[in-house]
């Protein structure tokens, strides 16, 4: 009887308290989504399959690929991240020269452990519940409401939420078998008959310009074109 009582004390419940938002994968995007929701007052659970947060940012890809217009495109929590990196290295935050596409110095280059530290600080300050080694193996679908109700991890823990966010690079949650059978997934152009979906390199001339050169803005999607492609 004592053993049963002790087991009840030390064995955690397989069903966690319901969350407002459940985020899958602690990539930089997943972390920012979790922080943003938590700052709005939501109870957020961040489920990371590995043993650390940050994904590529904390695994060696620390050089920012910001292009030539960083001051006009990097804002919000992304800019906050780089400002925190600058503070960690005790350097002033300054936008890079417009002619440069990369600087190998802080804050635009951060060591992996620094990126992980900054992300963990933002998550902790926002009161995000971070669970590592939480690999999702199954999902619970509600046919009546056509909504995702819960996810279950490999260790048996189950997490319920009102909103689920897939922060993984590969769309791992959205590509799970339980959701694919219900039509909730990324679809190809052929599946949805979206001939202009995605990147298309068009070999034709427009406005006196050739579109057969290197990829650029003019080879991207152009609205108003209705030419059919053979099937």
28 or 10, higher pLDDT: 28
Rounded to whole angstroms, how far apart are CA atoms 96 and 60?
21
| Burial class, 149, CB count within 10 angstroms (exposed 0-12 / middle 13-18 / buried 19+) | middle
Model pTM?
Answer: 0.71
Do residues 199 and 192 make contact, with C-beta atoms less than 8 angstroms apart? no
pLDDT of residue 227: 44
229 in any annotated domain? yes
- Mean pLDDT computed over 220-226: 42
User: What digits encode the pLDDT tens for the residues 16-39?
Assistant: 778 999 999 999 999 999 999 999
165 or 146, higher pLDDT: 165
Rounded to whole angstroms, how far apart are CA atoms 78 and 83?
9
Q: Please give the structure tokens belonging to residue 55.
A: 């994904």
Long-range contacts of 4-7 (CB under 8 A, 24+ apart): none
pLDDT of residue 185: 54
Same domain, residue pair 151 and 219: no
User: Which candidate, 150, 153, 89, places its Cα nearest to that of 118?
Assistant: 89
Mean pLDDT of the chain: 76
Same domain, residue pair 213 and 124: no
- Mean pLDDT computed over 130-148: 88
Structural domain boundaries, residue 210: 200-231
The CATH number covering residue 60 comes to 3.50.50.60
Q: Please give the structure tokens belonging to residue 100.
A: 């440069």
Per mean pLDDT, which range of 3-17, 71-85, 178-192 is the poorest?
3-17
- Mean pLDDT computed over 136-164: 89
Gyration radius from the chain CA atoms: 22
Rounded to whole angstroms, how far apart are CA atoms 122 and 224?
44
31 in any annotated domain? yes
Judged against a pLDDT cut of 60, whether residue 158 lies above it is answered with yes
User: What digits encode the pLDDT tens for the residues 189-217?
Assistant: 666 666 666 545 544 444 444 444 334 33
214 in any annotated domain? yes
Same domain, residue pair 224 and 163: no
Helix (H, G, I), strand (E, B) or coil at 46: strand
Do residues 135 and 49 make contact, with C-beta atoms less than 8 angstroms apart? yes
């Amino acid at each position: 009887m004592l053993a049963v009582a002790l087991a009840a004390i030390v064995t955690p419940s397989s069903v966690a308290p319901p969350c407002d938002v459940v985020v899958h994968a602690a990539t930089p995007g997943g972390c920012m989504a979790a922080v943003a929701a938590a700052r709005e007052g939501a109870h957020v659970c961040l489920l990371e399959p590995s043993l650390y947060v940050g994904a590529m940012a904390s695994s060696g890809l620390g050089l920012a690929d910001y292009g030539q217009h960083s001051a006009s495109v990097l804002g919000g929590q992304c800019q906050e991240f780089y400002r925190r990196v600058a503070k960690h290295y005790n350097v002033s935050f300054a936008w890079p020269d417009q002619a440069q596409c990369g600087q190998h110095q802080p804050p635009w280059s951060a060591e992996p452990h620094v990126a992980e530290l900054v992300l963990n600080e933002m998550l902790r300050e926002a009161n995000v519940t971070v669970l590592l080694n939480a690999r999702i193996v199954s999902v619970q679908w509600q046919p009546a409401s056509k909504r995702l109700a819960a996810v279950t991890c490999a260790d048996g823990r189950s997490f319920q939420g009102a909103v689920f966010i897939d922060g993984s690079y590969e769309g791992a949650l959205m590509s799970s078998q339980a959701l694919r059978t219900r039509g909730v997934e990324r679809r190809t152009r052929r599946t949805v008959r979206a001939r202009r979906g995605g990147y298309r390199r068009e070999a034709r001339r427009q406005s006196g310009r050739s579109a057969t050169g290197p990829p650029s803005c003019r080879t991207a999607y152009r609205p108003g074109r209705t030419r059919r492609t053979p099937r």
